[in-house]
Amino acid sequence: VSFYDSLEFCQKLSEAVGIEFNLPSEAQWEYACRGIIDPSQYRQLDGIYIYPPFNFGDTITQTLANYNSTRTYQQENIGIHRQQTTEVGYFSANNFGLYDLHGNIWEWCADDWHETYHNAPKDGSIWIDGYDQYSPMRGGSWAAFPFYCRCATRNKVQRSSRSRYNGFRVVYNYKKKGIN
């Protein structure tokens, strides 16, 4: 699906359900991917936080996510390449109960593309003052090598691009509607 297909789905879902759904911002996507409940365990002595590259730790294997495991990460064993998506729930959820944030499909984010995070919003909101013909995609895919499945990896993709590697997830702000 393209970025525009994803937005159209969010709009139709919002109208059908009566709640505003959106694509996540890059910040929301990465926060959800990391699934960190207690960040204090990642605080270094100098006060800097260093997070692992994956929500399940320092490495990735074919038993943790769907990616092209004919290449390795951290000298893990070579695995199989499934060559297609897997069903949600095939792999374990992260600490937030979310599935498939590493591999399976690249996921569109709502932001405009920015080369760096300089002047990025600090509240996790969608950043839309950049180059609006491109958006970031996150998460890697079933065809991606393990490096591209890391929490922090981002991919610049033209918004009109459609690919069997592209997908999306939706978010809504329940606090915005006054629901607790």
For the chain, 180 residues long, give each residue's pLDDT as a single digit of tens: 999 999 999 999 999 999 999 999 999 999 999 999 999 999 999 999 999 999 999 999 999 999 999 998 888 889 989 999 999 999 999 999 999 999 999 999 999 999 999 999 999 999 998 678 999 999 999 999 999 999 999 999 999 999 999 999 999 877 655 554
Tokens of residue 87, six digits: 């069903």
Strands (E), the chain: 106-108, 134-138, 154-158, 166-167
State residue 129's pLDDT score: 87
How far is CA 3 from each of CA 59, 156, 157, 166, rounded to the nearest angstrom?
30, 12, 9, 9
Q: Are 146 and 69 in contact (CB under 8 A)?
A: yes
Alpha-carbon gap, residue 7 to 24, rounded angstroms:
11
Alpha-carbon gap, residue 28 to 24, rounded angstroms:
6
Alpha-carbon gap, residue 168 to 147, rounded angstroms:
20
Q: Are 162 and 5 in contact (CB under 8 A)?
A: yes
Sheet of strand 134-138: strand arrangement: 154-158, 134-138, 106-108, 166-167
- What's the pTM value of the predicted model, to 2 decimals? 0.91
